[in-house]
Amino acid sequence: MVAGSWLKEYNESVMDAQLWTLYIPSLATFILVGIGILFNNARISDLNTNLNKRMDDLRADTFVRFERLEKQLDRLAEQVSRMNDQQIRLAEQVNRLAEQQTHLAERYNSLEGIVIGKFDEVDARLGRIESRLDLP
């Protein structure tokens, strides 16, 4: 039995060695795959962080651009409002000038009538003076 137990022990040790020969490469592969997964996970996490930062920068830049655009639109709205006010004032001035022109035309016509009337009076007086003096 001693010889049988030795053989049994030998077979078990050879079997253990064969199992270890099979387990070690599989275990090494498993460990390497695990390390690769962790490494890729870290790279994906870094990519995610980088993308989040870029998105935040893009949002901030877009916000600044929209702020600038709003300010420009506000300035344009103010300018349009001022131009409308100026247009209203100009229209009022044109109306006043038209009224003054009408008033001046009426005044001119009345003064023209008066002047013509005065010339007619002077002509009549001169005619009477000439007739009294017998001037041709």
Q: Concatenated DSSP letters for 51-69? A: HHHHHHHHHHHHHHHHHHH
Count of domains for the chain: 1
Per-residue pLDDT reduced to its tens digit, 96-115: 999 999 999 999 999 988 99
Q: Is residue 18 domain-resident?
A: yes
Q: Is residue 107 domain-resident?
A: no
Stretch 105-130: mean pLDDT, rounded? 90
Q: Is residue 16 domain-resident?
A: yes
Q: Is residue 68 domain-resident?
A: yes
Domain that holds residue 21: 1-99
Max Cα–Cα distance, the chain, nearest Å: 191
Mean pLDDT of the chain: 85
Give the global pTM: 0.47
**Cα torsion angle, 10, 15, 17, 18, sign:** positive
